[in-house]
Chains A and B, each alone.
Chain A
């Protein structure tokens, strides 16, 4: 597109569409435990490179990045003692085919081999001394500091890791993340674990609905910009076609 105004309108629709895409995903996952809300970050960008130095240049919106909001969700009581929630910051470590995964989704169950696995995907949960395993059929207990006891004997500790910068995490799905090479990670020595609870999604559906209303207006306005510009251009073409 050579026309600046058309370009602004088009880019506006494109960025609003990307925002709706993330918003719709947040909405359908508003009841998924451990889900982290995603936001599309939009930044204005000069249309033409040579204009960038000038004080007033046409700026179009561009998608900068998709950000995953790591603020905690509320706790839901499940009554199942292998369901865990983390108080404060940090992530559970799970063993995935792609390597270590980090999640706050604490829906765990004991499988037939006595291994503690995630309900979503059956990936083993890591403790400080390897994957958490008990003899099949044994009752497992979690204390508030992450210690795991079987019949009163301490066997392992839930591994919780903290990241200095959570933007170094990239998502595998909406609740499980993998760490980039730049990620700085440390093991939380004093974790707080709540057994019998899971952490809900941190999506606020009211906020999403409000954003959707706003986005639908952005969409409409950008469409208006394009259609007005189109009308002006066709007028200009008519002018040129000498009185026929």
Chain B
């Protein structure tokens, strides 16, 4: 009894989750290095064991072809996965020498406070009070790059080599190379906030390399990778989800009315 209501509830839950995903995407439409989320929906398993199906099976076993077919009802919908879409975001040119963007599939590697690693595409780097190259939240890039005292100019080449000139000297010194990592299945990465991701079983283990190697992409200085959220298509999705949600809630009201008419049967 009341199955339509349970089915509707599964749908409303899913549409609510999808709305959360859309609003999160929209809120991060101008976040550097943000990757949009997708909600993959899946219809739930059908209920097979009605009496009629049971009867049909028994009849078929006895060699009688029944005149009626199987009755299998669906039981709703659920979210099967919420992968991230790692397609390339647009490049924005900036005036900051420590803004770098990856063109390709690689990730920067950062050391977290608990000495584990996190990976991100946001290249808006900073120098902390000890001269370490770090992200805006102070997570140092790994392997670490330390800016010598008196650095006046920083050049980061396409392969990630960092050269500096000290006290306006014409000569530059190489102080390190920014490493990149890649994953076989980036969609399996887990988002941990602050534009960072951590590896999971389904993402596979990170492969460490440097820029310009196959599959890692190149590093571009004076550029930032914008969010890959397409505001237009997110708005379209929002309109659709909202409409389906409304229609389902209308259907629930309507079914409620039907149940009321059954209730009124006995005066």
Which A residues have a C-beta under 8 Å from some C-beta of B? 13, 16-18, 20-33, 35, 38, 40-41, 43, 62-67, 79-80, 107, 109-114, 119-121, 136-137, 167, 170-175, 205, 208-209, 212-213, 215-216, 219-220, 223-224, 226-227, 230-231
Contact check, A66 vs B68: say whether CB atoms are below 8 A apart. no
Q: Nearest CB to that of A37 among chain B residues?
A: B74
Determine the distance from Cα of A220 to Cα of B44 in the docked complex, in whole angstroms. Answer: 30
Determine the distance from Cα of A114 to Cα of B251 in the docked complex, in whole angstroms. Answer: 43
- Interfacial chain B residues near A33, Cβ < 8 Å: 41
Chain B nearest CB: distance from A25 CB in Å? 4
Contact check, A109 vs B10: say whether CB atoms are below 8 A apart. no
Q: Does any Cβ of A come within 8 Å of B120's Cβ?
A: no
Q: Name 10 A/B residue pairs within 8 A (Cβ), A-sorted.
A: A13-B262, A27-B8, A27-B247, A28-B248, A43-B68, A171-B72, A173-B44, A174-B43, A227-B266, A231-B267
Determine the distance from Cα of A51 to Cα of B186 in the docked complex, in whole angstroms. Answer: 67
- Interfacial chain A residues near B73, Cβ < 8 Å: 18, 21-22, 25, 38, 66
Give me the 9 closest cross-chain CB pairs, A-B, nearest first: A65-B69, A28-B11, A174-B43, A112-B204, A25-B74, A120-B42, A136-B184, A24-B4, A219-B258
Q: Which of A26, A38, A80, A219 contacts B262 (CB 8 A)?
A: A219
Determine the distance from Cα of A25 to Cα of B9 in the docked complex, in whole angstroms. Answer: 10
Q: What count of chain B residues pass the 8 Å CB interface test?
A: 63
Q: Does any Cβ of A come within 8 Å of B231's Cβ?
A: no
Determine the distance from Cα of A181 to Cα of B264 in the docked complex, in whole angstroms. Answer: 47
Determine the distance from Cα of A186 to Cα of B204 in the docked complex, in whole angstroms. Answer: 37
Q: Nearest CB to that of A35 among chain B residues?
A: B43
- Interfacial chain A residues near B187, Cβ < 8 Å: 109
Q: With A119-B81, A174-B74, A230-B265 given, name 17 new contacts (CB 8 A).
A: A21-B3, A28-B8, A28-B10, A30-B244, A31-B240, A35-B43, A64-B68, A65-B71, A107-B40, A109-B83, A136-B185, A167-B69, A172-B45, A173-B74, A209-B250, A219-B261, A223-B262
Q: Does any Cβ of A come within 8 Å of B143's Cβ?
A: no
Q: A28-B14, A38-B73, A231-B267 are in contact. Are A120 and B40 (CB under 8 A)?
A: yes
Q: A32-B41, A209-B247 are in contact. Are A170 and B70 (CB under 8 A)?
A: yes
Contact check, A136 vs B258: say whether CB atoms are below 8 A apart. no
* Count of chain A to chain B residue pairs whose CB atoms are closer than 8 Å in the complex: 183
- Interfacial chain B residues near A26, Cβ < 8 Å: 74
Contact check, B247 vs A205: say whether CB atoms are below 8 A apart. yes
Determine the distance from Cα of A121 to Cα of B78 in the docked complex, in whole angstroms. Answer: 11
CB interface residues, B 1-44, toward A, < 8 Å: 3-5, 7-8, 10-12, 14-15, 40-44
Chain A nearest CB: distance from B25 CB in Å? 15
- Interfacial chain B residues near A29, Cβ < 8 Å: 11, 41, 43, 74, 76-77
- Interfacial chain A residues near B10, Cβ < 8 Å: 28
Q: Nearest CB to that of B185 among chain A residues?
A: A112
- Interfacial chain B residues near A20, Cβ < 8 Å: 4, 255, 258
Which of B240, B255, B257 has its CB near the most chain A CB atoms (within 10 A)? Answer: B255
Q: Which of A110, A173, A231 contacts B45 (CB 8 A)?
A: A173
Chain A nearest CB: distance from B144 CB in Å? 27
Q: A29-B43, A171-B74 are in contact. Are A212 and B204 (CB under 8 A)?
A: no
Determine the distance from Cα of A170 to Cα of B76 in the docked complex, in whole angstroms. Answer: 17
Q: A216-B257, A230-B267 are in contact. Are A24 and B72 (CB under 8 A)?
A: no
- Interfacial chain A residues near B247, Cβ < 8 Å: 27, 205, 208-209
Chain B nearest CB: distance from A45 CB in Å? 9
Q: A32-B42, A220-B261 are in contact. Are A112 and B188 (CB under 8 A)?
A: yes
Chain A nearest CB: distance from B2 CB in Å? 10
Determine the distance from Cα of A35 to Cα of B42 in the docked complex, in whole angstroms. Answer: 8
Determine the distance from Cα of A53 to Cα of B169 in the docked complex, in whole angstroms. Answer: 108
Chain A nearest CB: distance from B133 CB in Å? 27
- Interfacial chain B residues near A109, Cβ < 8 Å: 83, 185, 187
Q: Does any Cβ of A come within 8 Å of B182's Cβ?
A: yes
Chain A nearest CB: distance from B223 CB in Å? 22
Q: A27-B244, A230-B265 are in contact. Are A114 and B7 (CB under 8 A)?
A: no
Taken residue by residue from 48 to 87, chain B's Cβ proximity to chain A (1 for < 8 Å, 0 otherwise) reads as: 1000100000000000000011111111110011010101
- Interfacial chain A residues near B69, Cβ < 8 Å: 41, 64-67, 167
Q: Does any Cβ of A come within 8 Å of B131's Cβ?
A: no
Determine the distance from Cα of A20 to Cα of B73 in the docked complex, in whole angstroms. Answer: 11
